[in-house]
Chains A and B, each alone.
Chain A
């Protein structure tokens, strides 16, 4: 299938954003269609940000948060997790596959895992095909 999905990755600047940086610095390539959006904490991520990303034509949205108990702001990651759950059900009701929204725990040092997650995630979105939002009317 010749389709390059547009993917937005919301990254906490305390973990995944740094992991992505290290992955970059290691020249460990990951797909170029991943757009990284830096957040101060995954707890800042709102439902509307995810929905807006889909409205703007994203085929997938990845959210990276710190591991439980290691959020610099204590429970930001847990909050993010709950919001993601809520958004998943909302997306499904809207008619967007919930697999298009992925949530990962990651620490700054796990850059290899970041690359792996992004690659696999990209593959799974590619398999899903273009977002149903982009259907021509």
Chain B
């Protein structure tokens, strides 16, 4: 039983990551509201967290904090954590920029529906 589960788990975070990436893109493509679109973009970004988290994880290892555990104890990869931290802060700020653009779109173009924001055609 646990064998089967662990075989399934071997690929699980990566499959979920791929799924979230594509589903987020689907949300963006079919979105009718800029704020909805931005939240779908957040979902796309979380896909990269899952990928990095899965890549850096070690079975049975501790968190990479050597305050309470001696050096040499197996610990998960701190580099991917640092990359994710970077990623999270980037996410928040880029989304803020996009939300600000959405507010301005309503203000200047009178709509937040991508269908109506097509001044840039041709």
Partners in one complex: no
Binding site for A on B (CB under 8 A): none
